[in-house]
Amino acid sequence: MNKYLKRYIVIFVILFVVIVAIVARLTLLQIIKGEYYKEQSMWRSHQTVTLTAPRGGIYDRNGKPIVTNQAGYTVSFKRMTGMDDTEINRIIVEVTQIIEKNDGDILSDLLPISDTTPYTFSESMTEAQIASWREEMKLGERTAAEIVQYYKEQFNVADDYTQAQVRLIVGVRYDMLIRGFSATTAFTIASDVSLKTVTQLREQGELYAGISIETEPVRKYLYGSTAAHILGYVGQMNQSEYEFYKEKGYKPNEYIGKQGVEKAFEDELHGIDGSSVIERNRTGKNLSVLSSTPALPGNNVYLTLDLDVQMAGEKALKETIDKIYANALDTATTKGLDVGGGSFAAVSVKTGEVLALGSYPTFDLNFFRENYIKWSEDPMRPLFNRAMMGTYPPGSTFKMITAAAALEEKTTYAYESIRDEVVYYLGTYSYRCMANHEDVNMEKAIGYSCNYYFYEMGNRMGMEPIWKYADMFGLGKITGIELLGEEARGVIASPEGKEARGDHWYPGHTLQMAIGQDDTLCTPLQLACYTAQLANKGVRYTPTLLKNIRTYDTKELVRENTPLVRDVASVSESTFNEIHKGMRMSATEGTGSGTFKDYEIPVACKTGSAEVYTGSDNGIFVAFAPYDDPEIAVAVIVEHAGSGSSVGPVVKAIIDAYLNPKTETEPAYRKNTLTP
């Protein structure tokens, strides 16, 4: 055999062995274990998981954290291979039952139809928005009930489900539809569920194919009820909100700020979500991460609020209300026995920065979802932001408006003395002063709150000048604070207002207007801004809650907020000086002296006891300090407190916390600035 033939035989043998090995391997893979590997392949799938971006934190003006993030559990659902509508619907019902049992009613959907029959379209949507939505979803002219029935048929919802379960399935499946629920894109059923829910779902994992538990950041309000009405809360978008936010790149079911600071600074706080492509088996177990794009956190928001001042104000407000009630019980009087809620506002005289803003009763933001229904039905209305939405007669705190009008319009001069006759007569009508103040000039009239003096000023001037100066000081106007849509406008008494109700304006109404009664209504925030404008002699700033914006991790400055002048009152310095002297007299010997007579820091103030339709008078107290170089202006209102002087301790506690008296070797007060 020649050497060439031997080489061919060797090569042939090698090729034969290789071919046999390949055939054997293919036989093993495709015939012997074909079904096994086919099943394994079907059990593996790729899923795109959203990596939720942490919201930026919220800090006070000194850098103290108020709102942060903590790890929470999210329940996600992904369509597995071979999963039909029947199985999807069953899993939705059973999983949501577990969530609702353990965590309460925390689920919602974007279907803009009521949760119960008779089905109606969402009240948050206009007719034009509803028509646009029906057109977009190709629903024709179907009614709300017909749309629910339509989706029931589309999603093959069985007839043996209850009506409530049908609406639940339809709502969740609708959300899945618009979010692109599929074998590669998961759907978030619920966020921030309890550990009990997580444990139960994991223990019963074999019943719920496609259900997985993810860990993502959720909001933590470090001080619970502190500044709750101002901070606001986050929640899933509804349909109308989604129509707005989808233009900004938001996905359905994302969480957004719903109220307060969380809503006002949504663009700054909201980060950019990332994503991961994950390989999972049929039960939803993660096998590997194939690729990942990190989430970009939102920016941190630093507020103008001083946390110490806020907490001091809230503590004093509750204690004062409790004391008013206890005193009423002890003295067996009805005055103050019906004391209700209260509120306060404190602003910087020189910048308009909001230093504190509180409302009582309050609520714990960490338990908002669980207790929303209970709190919304509470007759004390803990969810109501009295500091910005509550409107009240200003009472005698309005008298500085009348004083400014009288001096500026030359109706009187500062030292004109008027004899207080106690009862002021206008035609056949009479109006009483609260005491006999004898001879009264402007300073004393403010200091001792002489109604008789201001009745005379009102009668001399008429309504128009008083209205003019009230408007000049921002009463009856939106202040412009960032919480858009969350503050009441209030009103200044006027003939037009009477006529709108089918009533008439009489001279007696002018007298009542001059002492802060009749139809005039103000918010505590308006009164604080008005007091600051008096203190700085005419400049009314737009109140702001924003100090600056900083990056999430490095806390580098992104944007610094600057004071914004909203208006300047056309009032002379001499007029302001006379008003200041009267307010100082109130603190040293007049109606506010019970609170500030021996106080270390010089204060200027004014009390007010405003009559209301039923019950005890409201108690109102405004002040600024220090008198010689004003920094802070405060307004406090307590419903049915009985008198303005009784709420003075709240004002004092706020000024104490902000100006912070020191030892003799240190300044008597300090300025709060952001810690770098």
CATH code (residue 401): 3.40.710.10
| Shared-domain flag, residues 464 and 595 | yes
User: Which pLDDT does position 669 carry in this prediction?
Assistant: 40
Residue 282 has what pLDDT? 57
Q: Which of 303, 323, 347 is the last residue of a domain?
A: 303
User: What's the pTM value of the predicted model, to 2 decimals?
Assistant: 0.83
Q: With contact defined as beta carbons under 8 Å apart, do 306 and 658 qualify?
A: yes
Query: Which of the listed residues 273, 303, 333 is the one where a domain comes to its end?
Result: 303
For residues 530 and 423, membership in a common domain is answered with: yes
pLDDT at 10 (0 to 100): 61
Nearest to 537 by CA among 572, 567, 565, 566: 572
pLDDT at 644: 95
pLDDT at 95: 95
One domain for residues 500 and 556 = yes
pLDDT digits 0-9 by tens, 258-268: 999 999 999 99
For residues 531 and 520, give the distance between their C-alpha atoms in angstroms, rounded to a whole number: 16
Could you tell me if residue 28 is inside a domain?
Answer: no
For the stretch 603-619, what's the b/e string if a residue is b when 16 or more beta carbons lie within 10 angstroms of its beta carbon? bbbbbbbbeeeebbbbb
| Amino acid type, 460 | R
Residues 190 and 203 in one domain: yes
CATH number for 102: 3.90.1310.10
Q: What is the pLDDT of residues 274-308, one digit of tens each?
A: 877 777 665 556 667 778 888 899 999 999 999 99
**Domains in the chain, number:** 2
Residue 164 and residue 104 share a domain: yes
Q: Which of 303, 326, 345 is the last residue of a domain?
A: 303
Does residue 14 form part of some domain?
no
In a domain, 264, yes or no: yes
Which two structure tokens, joined as six digits, stand for 60? 């006070």
Does 650 lie in the same domain as 607? yes
Strand partners of residue 546: 303
Q: Say if residue 291 is in the same domain as residue 321.
A: no
Residue 219 falls within a domain, yes or no?
Answer: yes
What is the reported pLDDT for 267? 95
Q: Report the alpha-carbon distance of residue 648 to residue 609 in Å, rounded.
A: 12
Structural domain contains residue 568: yes
Are the beta carbons of 672 and 306 closer than 8 angstroms? yes
Report the largest interatomic distance among the alpha carbons of the chain, rounded to a whole angstrom: 147
Q: List the 632-638 sheet strands across, edge first.
A: 354-360, 342-348, 632-638, 618-625, 604-610
For the CA atoms of 218, 219, 224, 225, the dihedral, rounded to the nearest 10 degrees, stands at -130
Query: Do residues 486 and 608 share a domain?
Result: yes
Is 26 part of any domain?
no
* Domain assignment present for 68: yes
Taking the C-alpha atoms of residue 238 and residue 124, their distance in angstroms, rounded to an integer, is 9
Task: Identify whether residues 106 and 229 lie together within a single domain.
Answer: yes
Yes or no: say if 253 and 179 are a contact pair by the CB < 8 Å rule: yes
Q: Domain check: are 274 and 357 in the same one?
A: no
DSSP codes, 82-124: T--HHHHHHHHHHHHHHHHHHH-S----S--B-SSSSP-B-TT
Do residues 146 and 179 both lie within one domain? Answer: yes
The whole domain housing 207 covers 46-303
Whether 252 and 360 map to the same domain: the answer is no
Positions in the chain short of pLDDT 50: 29, 36-37, 39-40, 42-43, 662-676
Q: What is the pLDDT of residue 666?
A: 40
The pLDDT, as a whole number, for residue 660 is: 79
* Domain assignment present for 20: no
